[in-house]
Chains A and B, each alone.
Chain A
Amino acid sequence: MSIIIDVASGGVRGGTSILYAATGETISERAGVINLGTEGSMLAGALAAYMVSSQTGNPWLGVAVGAFAGALISSVHAVLVVKRKANQFASGLAVLFLSLGLTSLFGSSYVGKTITPFTVWDVPLLSDIPWIGPILFQQDPLVYLSYLVVPLVWFVLFRTRAGLLVRTAGERSEALTVHGFSVQRVRMAAVIAGGVLAGVGGAHLSIAYTNSWFENMVAGRGFIAVALVIFASWSPLKVFGGAYLFGAALSLGPALQARGYEINQFALHVIPFVLTLTVLAALGRRTISAAPAELKRVFENAPPDP
């Protein structure tokens, strides 16, 4: 029995960085921009948070600076894609490489440094609930923050004027122009907001989850986040389930090994990827038809030759 709780709570813990990043990516894609540089924003966020937390001993300050670093990286993508009309996939990868280089340059002296990480804080009363308590309410503060941030993003996207602007930029950008709004500005803002959340996700990874910094530590979680957004058909609330599923698959291997099961962890590690591919295939046309119209254009018009 305890293994289920272990895997589930590990899924929440391990999935939180992906959850933040995928929620941010949802904002960006809702505005019609896919950002493979999410991986880069997470890296920058992870390192910045680690540096600040190590220097000041204040993990919250670390998260703030991590969010800023994530925004900074994503703003490069925003400028390239929105202002310069560069190809979104190519620009995203370029931005990822930029972040890989920057973080390895500035991070090398921080490998092995001690930091003040976030620690697990049991929510009074709620953490005593059987099953749910240990899974959801014996976590670190950034996990709790995500319980608020993700629904908030949903609310902003679907219930406020700002969200309407973002979604219109992704669905019918002409309509924005007609009403005197700048599509470019809305998209820039959406991409950068996505970078903020990806930065927070990276911060969770380095100062709450692994409590360490090493080169390329995000290891594909940013790419998972991008795929997850499609998997969740561009809804922040569905992103919850997807992120935790990924997290659970990642924590299943260690949980089994801790109980003495001989298992090749990579057979488990691959599950979320295969699952995502399967779901994408099963949903097929339906997923794509749920995509923001302008994003569909990005998918369909991968320009062959400029």
Chain B
Amino acid sequence: MSAPTDVMVAEPQAPDPAPAAPARDERWLRAGKLAVRWIAAILGAMIIFSVLVSFQGANPLEVFADMWVSTFQRPRSLTEIFIRMAPITLAALAVVLPARAGMMNVGGEGQVIVGAVGAAGVGLAFDQTLPGGLVMVLMAVGAIVAGAAWAGIAALLRLVFNVNEAVTTLLLNFVALDLLLFLIYQPWRESAAAQPSTREVAVAAQLPTLGSTGVTVGIIVAVAAVIVLGWALTRTRWGYRLGVVGGNPEAARRAAMPVTMLLLSALLVGGALAGLAGWIELSAVELKLRPGFGTQIGYIGFLASWLARHRPLPVLVASFVLAALSVAADSLQLDSGLPASTINILTALLLVAVLGWTTMKGKKT
């Protein structure tokens, strides 16, 4: 469990809004305290998890050992983590960006689904006629447009009708799910005889893997998005202004900043990133739309963003951890005979610890 420690180490390096930077040893002390908290949080989560699992007659030590082995020590396990990490990272960035502007995007789930629907629509329409590489790019564009449009509905409701985006993005998740199911139960269904799903997109339009690793280029897209967003938020006027709007919209308005456009851009770009996540999930993992497509990627991304406290680089660590946990979930099912969703307990406990015991500082009561 070295990954969460990285978040801890990254902590004191974060830009501190306090006027005087704390002295060096004070910073170490703070980092030390934070480390203790993190270790306590992780241990606590593992102990609670152990107790719960043993209620169901499983031996917690064996469960952890199996999870560790199949998550990190099998030949393809790291590959699997990186494959699952890519969409989670992008879905997390879809939360990071609006959060920077003081908005809550709970709609990653829907934006991921609609992004995949957009990609699939383009892919299914063109993959028989156009060259694969071109279809791949067009699918990405379709996903970006669809994801941004979906977030755009929430943006419209917020900016024109003054309806809170946390509520609308949440509701739009269910609309997106119904849209997906509607399409695969009839219009886009491959065959009425088989399970409802679309056909797979042509091999040429699927995401290529990196050399012989089995990892798809999805992870490159995700890492690139993290770097670009990290740069844009700290080094561009746009990023700076988003921060001002998020911190104090009134001040931003007085400074004659285009607040509406800033809020709109944050949600649209966020939606586009979630759409990309849907594209990667479609063309690297699932290859076709089916019921239960991309389940919970949006929500897991939301959690990842909170684990990383809405900072792009830590998002990479958080989504690695959550992807690893999702691989570990398979081990729970295969090795220990426990339901895969049991892993949600660990995920949730980790987040509970982070929300409750590491974010107190700097918070107005």
A contacts, CB < 8 Å to B: 36, 76, 79-80, 84-87, 89-91, 93-98, 100-102, 104-109, 215-216, 220, 223-224, 226-227, 230, 264-267, 269-270, 273-274, 276-277, 280-282, 284-285, 287-288, 299, 301-306
Contacts and interface: CB of A to CB of B under 8 A. Distances in A.
B315 to A, nearest CB: 13
B157 interface: yes
Contacts of B356: 79-80, 84, 86, 91
Interface in B162-202: 162-164, 166-168, 170-175, 178-179, 181-182, 185-186
Contact of A304 (B181, B246, B340): B246
Contacts of B347: 97, 101
A90 B343 contact: no
B262 interface: no
A173 to B, nearest CB: 11
Given A89-B106, A270-B179, A281-B161, A304 B359 contact: no
A100 B309 CA distance: 23
Contacts of B246: 304-305
Interface in B122-178: 157, 161-164, 166-168, 170-175, 178
A269 B178 contact: yes
A93 B106 contact: yes
B161 A106 contact: no
B306 interface: yes
What are the 7 A-B residue pairs with the smallest beta carbon separation, nearest first?
A101-B344, A101-B345, A304-B246, A98-B348, A104-B341, A270-B178, A86-B355
A39 to B, nearest CB: 10
B342 A299 contact: no
Nearest to B352: A94
Contacts of B182: 264, 266-267, 270
Contacts of B311: 305
B96 to A, nearest CB: 10
Contacts of A306: 309, 359, 361-363
Contacts, number: 182
Interface of B: 52-53, 55-56, 99-104, 106, 157, 161-164, 166-168, 170-175, 178-179, 181-182, 185-186, 243, 246-247, 299, 302-303, 306, 309-311, 338-349, 351-352, 355-357, 359-363, 365
Contacts of B104: 89, 302
Given A104-B339, A104-B341, A215-B339, A94 B167 contact: no
Contacts of A230: 167
Given A89-B106, A101-B343, 12 more contacts: A85-B360, A87-B355, A89-B166, A97-B348, A102-B52, A216-B341, A264-B182, A273-B172, A280-B163, A306-B359, A306-B362, A306-B363
B247 A304 contact: yes
Given A84-B357, A85-B363, A280 B167 contact: yes
A242 to B, nearest CB: 13
Contacts of B101: 304
Contacts of B299: 93, 97
27 contacts: A76-B352, A80-B352, A85-B365, A89-B104, A93-B106, A93-B303, A94-B303, A94-B306, A94-B351, A95-B352, A98-B348, A101-B341, A101-B345, A104-B339, A104-B341, A104-B342, A105-B339, A105-B341, A223-B170, A227-B167, A230-B167, A280-B161, A280-B167, A302-B166, A304-B101, A304-B310, A306-B363
Contacts of B357: 84
A276 to B, nearest CB: 6
Contacts of A277: 157, 163, 168, 171-172, 175
A62 to B, nearest CB: 20
Interface centre among B246, B349, B352, B357 (most CB of A within 10 A): B352
Nearest to B338: A105
A44 to B, nearest CB: 12
Contacts of A224: 174
Contact of A98 (B162, B173, B349, B365): B349
Contacts of B362: 306
A36 B352 CA distance: 14
B170 A97 contact: no
A93 B362 CA distance: 23
Contacts of A89: 104, 106, 166
A239 to B, nearest CB: 16
